[in-house]
Amino acid sequence: MEKIKIKGIILVLLLVLGILGLNTKYQKYRNEKNNEKLLKENKKELEAKIENVISEREERRKEIQSDYEQIQIITGKLGLLSMKNESEFKKMIYVFTRESGLKMNEISKSEKLWERNGYKLKYIHFTLYGSLNNFGKFLYFLNKSRKFIDTSRMYIDLTGEGFKISLGFIEKGKIGVKN
């Protein structure tokens, strides 16, 4: 009888240990399933974040490309409107003076106001002689010029002997590339 009790106790103990072992394995299985589920959710979130980053980068690249194209257009226009050198500007003003019936007496040295990206804004002072009507023609020619003539800092000094006028132009220089 004692052998049967001992066998029964051992059998119950084995059964309890088996159930505990199965329970432990089941818990590990459930943990692995939960971890797998979390990893799948995290993967979806990360893929969505990656897609957002890619789309933001593409959008930014398009903005930069658009800005670059606009800068190229502006630089092209500036190149068309600017002068190659100071003597070209002086020749143009001299032609305007002759066409309007004025006479040029004096040309000052140029004054550089600013320099950016290979372009320089310079001003030159001219002393002209002639009638007020001819001076009006001269101003008309300046206004209709195909090249850019800056008048933002222009001054006109009208005297009994003539006219003093300061005009600006943009000189195209060498564009240096910075490394």
- Per-domain boundaries in the chain: 1-81, 83-172
Mean pLDDT, residues 133-141:
92
Q: What angle do CA 54, 58, 64 make, to 5 degrees?
A: 145
Of the candidates 111, 115, 135, the residue with the CA atom closest to the CA atom of residue 125 = 111
pLDDT at residue number 70: 86
Backbone torsion region of residue 111, taken as left when φ is above 0, otherwise alpha when ψ lies between -120 and 50, otherwise beta:
beta
* Superfamily of structural domain 83-172: Ribosomal protein S6/Translation elongation factor EF1B (3.30.70.60)
7-55 confidence digits (pLDDT tens): 888 888 888 888 888 888 889 999 998 999 898 888 889 999 999 999 9
pLDDT at residue number 96: 93
DSSP state of 175: P
Of the candidates 147, 133, 77, 143, the residue with the CA atom closest to the CA atom of residue 100 = 133
Mean pLDDT, residues 51-72:
91
pLDDT at residue number 78: 66
